C-alpha cells in the first residue's frame, strides 16, 4: 500500500456550529484533488440513516458515536480518509473509538474545533441556540448538556480566529506530517 492509499479516521469534535462540517468538506476537496479516497460521515446524515431512533441521552449519544466510529474504522481500514465532523461530547466515547482504531492498527486523529460557545451561538447554523434560549429544546451540548473538550487532541483548530481554508490547511499539514496525505 502506498502512502496515498493509507486510510485514516479524522474525527472533528466540537460544539454545535463550531465549523466541524465546513472544515471537513474543505479538507475533503483538497484530499480528493490529491488523489485520495475520501468520505465525510456527517453527523446529521448518520443520525437520519444509521442511528434513527436514538435520542440524545448520554447512552444514546455513546451508541451513536460507537456506530460512527465502527463505520469510520471500516472505511479507513480500506484506504479511505474518513472525515467525521461529529460532536461526540463525551471523552470516554471518543476514547473507545480511538482504542478500536488502535486495536485494528488503523490511523486515527482527533481534531478539536475549539470555537467558544459565544461564537457558536452567534453562528447558530441550525437555529439550535435560539431554540434552546426560547425554551423550545433542552440538552444542547455545551449549553445545558455537557461537552468534554479533548485534553490532548492531535490538533486544536480555533475556527473563530482563522478562515476555513486556513483551518483545512493546518489539518492537511498534520496529515502530511503523519504520512497520511
Q: Is 35 labeled as ligand-binding?
A: no
Tally helices (H) and strands (E) across the chain: 7, 5
Residue 39: how many other CB atoms lie within 10 Å = 16
Q: Is 19 labeled as ligand-binding?
A: yes
Residue 16 annotated as lining a ligand binding site: yes
- What is the spatial distance between Cα 29 and Cα 66, in angstroms, rounded to a whole number? 26
Consult the annotation and say whether 82 binds a ligand: no
Q: Is residue 34 part of an annotated ligand binding site?
A: no
Convert 146-179 into a string of H (helix), E (strand) and C (coil). CCCCCCCCCEEECHHHCCHHHHHHHHHHHHHHCC
Distance CA 174, CA 154 (A): 8
6/78 Cα distance (integer angstroms):
8
139 is in an annotated binding site: no
Q: According to the annotation, is 15 in a ligand binding site?
A: yes
What's the number of CA atoms in the CB half-sphere (13 Å) around residue 44? 6
Does 14 carry a binding-site annotation?
yes
CB neighbour class for 52 (10 Å; exposed up to 12, middle 13-18, buried from 19): exposed
Residues making up the annotated binding site are: 14-21
Residues making up the annotated binding site for ATP are: 14-21
Amino acid at each position: 500500500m502506498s502512502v496515498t492509499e493509507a486510510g485514516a479516521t479524522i474525527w472533528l469534535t466540537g460544539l454545535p456550529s463550531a465549523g466541524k462540517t465546513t472544515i471537513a468538506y474543505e479538507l475533503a476537496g483538497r484530499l480528493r484533488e490529491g488523489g485520495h479516497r475520501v468520505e465525510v460521515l456527517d453527523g446529521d446524515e448518520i443520525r437520519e440513516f444509521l442511528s434513527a431512533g436514538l435520542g440524545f441521552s448520554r447512552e444514546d449519544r455513546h451508541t451513536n458515536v460507537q456506530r460512527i466510529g465502527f463505520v469510520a474504522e471500516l472505511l479507513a481500514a480500506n484506504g479511505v480518509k474518513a472525515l467525521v465532523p461529529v460532536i461526540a461530547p463525551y471523552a470516554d466515547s471518543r476514547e473507545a473509538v480511538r482504542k478500536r482504531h488502535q486495536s485494528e492498527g488503523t490511523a486515527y486523529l482527533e481534531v478539536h474545533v475549539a470555537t467558544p460557545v459565544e461564537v457558536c451561538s452567534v453562528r447558530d447554523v441550525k437555529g439550535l441556540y435560539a431554540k434552546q434560549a426560547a425554551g423550545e429544546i433542552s440538552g444542547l451540548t455545551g449549553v445545558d448538556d455537557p461537552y468534554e473538550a479533548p485534553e490532548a487532541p492531535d490538533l486544536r483548530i480555533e475556527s473563530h480566529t482563522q478562515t476555513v481554508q486556513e483551518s483545512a490547511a493546518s489539518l492537511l499539514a498534520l496529515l502530511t506530517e503523519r504520512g497520511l496525505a
